[in-house]
Homo-oligomer: A and B are copies of this chain.
Amino acid sequence: MKITNEFKCTFPAVSTNESLARAALSAFLIPADPTAQELADLRTVISEAVTNAIVHGYRNCSGEVAICLRMLPDRILYIRVSDKGCGIPDIEQAMTPLYTTAPEEERAGLGFAIMQEFTDSLYVRSSAGNGTTLTMRRRLGQIHAEQED
């Protein structure tokens, strides 16, 4: 499929980079003129995915997180977040709302629920020991009549 724009980045799995990931998403998305709601939703989505890579994938140890953002035709935003961490043994269980393997870190077990709610499609590929890749798509609404300021 034709890609209108593509931004790929990598950074270490440290929690300060959660805001870096959100900033990159915003900067990539702004030229497409998203609504404030779309921007807020998608910032939340990337934050959940990157946090999971850091907290669960690498269990707060060192590692690298990779993001790929694409703008596809028809204003479809493609988001891919991957880690080379421990992987998810049972994906269905992991996606169950409120299920978390890190209650001691006060994880709510709602990351997947939020990602699913705020995207049109979410696909998880993971294998124990080989890391996890999330692929999500969200179609942005049509651009509104231009406003002069």
Residues of A within 8 A of B (CB): 5-12, 14, 16-17, 19-20, 23-24, 26-28, 30-31
Residues of B within 8 Å of A8, CB to CB, are 9-11
**Which of chain B's residues has its CB closest to A29's CB?**
B20
Q: By the criterion CB–CB under 8 Å, are A27 and B19 in contact?
A: yes
CA of A17 to CA of B5 in the docked complex: distance in angstroms?
Answer: 9
As for how many copies of this chain the complex holds, the number is: 2
Q: By the criterion CB–CB under 8 Å, are A16 and B5 in contact?
A: yes
Residues of B within 8 Å of A17, CB to CB, are 5, 7
Residues of B within 8 Å of A6, CB to CB, are 10-12
Residues of B within 8 Å of A28, CB to CB, are 20
A81 to chain B, nearest CB (A): 14
**CB < 8 Å neighbour of A27 from B10, B24, B31:** B24
**Which of chain B's residues has its CB closest to A23's CB?**
B27
The 8 tightest CB contacts between A and B, nearest first, are A23-B27, A9-B9, A7-B11, A20-B27, A8-B10, A16-B31, A24-B24, A20-B28
**Which of chain B's residues has its CB closest to A9's CB?**
B9
List 11 additional contacts besides A7-B10, A7-B17, A23-B27; criterion CB under 8 Å: A7-B11, A7-B20, A8-B9, A8-B10, A8-B11, A19-B27, A19-B30, A19-B31, A23-B23, A23-B26, A24-B24
